Amino acid sequence: MSDSKRNLITGPGINLDGNDVDTDRIIPARYLRCVTFDDLGEHAFEDDRAQLKAAGQRHAFDDPERTQARVLLVDRNFGCGSSREHAPQALMRWKSGIAAIIGESFAEIFFGNCVALGIPCVTATQDEINKLKGVVAKDNKLQVTVDLNELRASAGSVSIPLSIPDGARKQLATGRWDSSAELLEGSGETAKRAKELPYFAHWRA
């Protein structure tokens, strides 16, 4: 299980500014017309990117210097809206693959989807994130390290404290974020609990 541990993630950073970035923006719904997740990476933030381009600006995900990025830095309530796992799937399949996200806060379902894919979403205060964003903005090769044991993120001269609910931290750090095996281990107890619920057999005793 050692290769599934997500206790230490290192890679170049990429900054994405803005609160309440919803999953429709991360991956527009038209790309959900698919039966595999394979081709989602290239469409991450597609509409936002096109609109900024049309306005003569550039989206972070269009920066040719940032294609090696592994650690995404965001603001408040990232991933709100739809439960589509296609959103983290698109991020982990974009270029080098986003492997960790640091933000002020995350939407609940998005956070859970990320855990299920082995992507830590860790939180820090706005001030601390801005410090990290500051050094990342200046150097596209600067390595950002997310340490789930020490609960710190560091890059160059900046080191900030991180938070993540302890259950998720343990799952990720010990490599047990893929919960299928553990849930299957409980199948005997599951069957017992199901029998105790009056409705489970459609109210037939």
Partner 1 sequence: MGKNLYDKVFEKHAVRKLDSGQYQLLMGLHLIHEVTSPQAFSMIRERKLSVPYPERTFATCDHIIPTHNQLRPFKDDLAEQMLIELEKNCAEYGIRYLSPKSGEQGIVHVVGPELGLTQPGMTVCCGDSHTSTHGAFGAIAFGIGTTQVRDVLATQTLAMGKLKVRRIEVNGKLLPGVYAKDVALYIIQQLGVQGGVGYAYEFAGDVFDRFSMEERMTVCNMSIEGGARCGYVNPDATTYAYLKGRDYSPQGAAWDGAVKYWDSIRSDSDAHFDDVVKIKAEDIEPMVTWGITPAQSTAVSSPLPAADSFSEQDRPLIEEAYQYMGFAQRAPLKGQKIDVAFIGSCTNGRFSDFEEVVKYLRQSGKKVQAGVRALVVPGSQKVRERLIEAGYDKVFTEAGFEFREAGCSMCLAMNPDKLVGRELCASSSNRNFKGRQGSPTGRTLLMSPVMVAAAAVSGTVADAREVFAIQN
Summarize as ranges the residues that interact with partner 1 (CB under 8 A): 17-20, 22, 24-25, 28-30, 32-37, 47-48, 50-51, 76-77, 80-86, 88, 105-109, 112-113, 116-117, 126, 165-168, 170-171, 174, 176, 179-180, 182-184, 186-187, 189-190, 193-194, 196-205
The contacts of residue 63 (CB under 8 Å, 6+ apart) are 14, 140
Q: Measured between alpha carbons, how far is 46 from 26 in angstroms, rounded to an integer?
A: 8
Kindly state the smallest distance separating residue 61's Cβ from partner 1, in Å. Answer: 15
Enter the DSSP assignment of 104. Answer: S
* Cα 149 from chain centroid (whole Å): 18
Residue number, 134 or 186, with CB nearest to partner 1:
186
Shortest approach of partner 1 to residue 55 CB, angstroms?
A: 9
CB 155 within 8 A of CB 133: no
How many Cα atoms within 13 Å fall on the side-chain side of residue 56?
Answer: 0
Give least dist CB 91 to partner 1, A.
13
Which one, 25 or 70, has the nearer CB to partner 1?
Answer: 25
Measured from the CB of residue 149, what is the shortest distance to partner 1 in angstroms? 15
Give the residue with the Cβ less far from partner 1, 80 or 162: 80
Structure tokens at 157: 């001269």
The angle subtended at Cα 145 by Cα 136 and Cα 120, nearest 5°, is: 105
What's the min distance (Å) between Cβ of 122 and partner 1? 15
